[in-house]
Amino acid sequence: MANYIGPKVKLSRRVGAPIADIPKHTDRSSLTPPGVHGYRGRRLRDYGVRLIEKQKLRYHYNVMEKQFRLYIDLATRSKGNTGQILLVLLERRLDNVIRRLGWARTIWAARQMVSHGHIRINGKKVDIPSAQVKVGDRVTVKQKVHGLVRENMESLAGHDVPSWLTFDPSTLTAEVVAEPTPDQVPFDVNMNLIIEFYR
């Protein structure tokens, strides 16, 4: 699967929202639109508004368009609210779980940690960032990267682990205790606009 390797702050500027919770992205100057003095040009039409909302969600979870469409199709076929199901599917990605635990500072660092084989689910190595975690899964990290994980956790002092995950900092062991709910996602996005974009 392809992965975006260009400048990341550029993505935050493009959509006008911080796609990562680090100062480089949340700084006010990082959110000015691209161009001279943040010139936007014409007002966005309905299509543009929906496109930016969709891109915002894609960038936040570091998912390419083809994979995002697969998530949309799966959420559409499932029973229930399509937008909420889509958000839950994205939240349960392994790289996102690592980010939510604070083991990595950004989604890109979390993806690298997983793809390098440092993460275990129920004692088995998993190196696929898009792997879905389930309720009852225990997530651990390889002994040799404990130092790196603790450094990341210290740099993210005050980071809140969501209530659908439990975490033991002494052993660096986490467990999925519930399904994530849309109100537990610390990222503001209008799911209705995204679903309308694909209709």
Residue 104 shares a structural domain with residue 85: no
Domains in the chain, number: 2
- pLDDT confidence of residue 39: 60
Q: Let me know: does 12 contact 26? Beta carbons within 8 Å.
A: no
Residue 126 shares a structural domain with residue 68: no
Q: What residues in the chain have per-residue pLDDT under 50?
A: 1
- pLDDT confidence of residue 73: 93
User: What is the pTM assigned to this prediction?
Assistant: 0.87
Residue 121 shares a structural domain with residue 85: no
Residue 99 shares a structural domain with residue 169: yes
Q: Are strands 138-141 and 119-121 parallel, antiparallel or unpaired?
A: antiparallel
The whole-angstrom separation of Cα 166 and Cα 110 is 18
Q: Which of 192, 187, 129, 131 is nearest to 162 (CA)?
A: 187
By CB neighbour count within 10 A (0-12 exposed, 13-18 middle, 19+ buried), where does 187 fall? Answer: middle
* CATH number of the domain that residue 173 is part of: 3.10.290.10
Q: Which of 1, 19, 124, 166 is nearest to 71 (CA)?
A: 1
Q: Let me know: does 191 contact 182? Beta carbons within 8 Å.
A: yes
Structural domain of 118: 93-178
- pLDDT confidence of residue 36: 67
Q: Let me know: does 58 contact 189? Beta carbons within 8 Å.
A: no
The whole-angstrom separation of Cα 107 and Cα 98 is 8
Assigned domain for 16 exists: yes
Task: Give the tens place of pLDDT for each residue, 92-132.
Answer: 999 999 999 989 988 999 999 999 999 999 999 999 999 99
Assigned domain for 4 exists: no
Residue 142 shares a structural domain with residue 171: yes
* CATH number of the domain that residue 84 is part of: 1.10.1050.10
The two counts, helices (H) then strands (E), for the chain are 9, 5
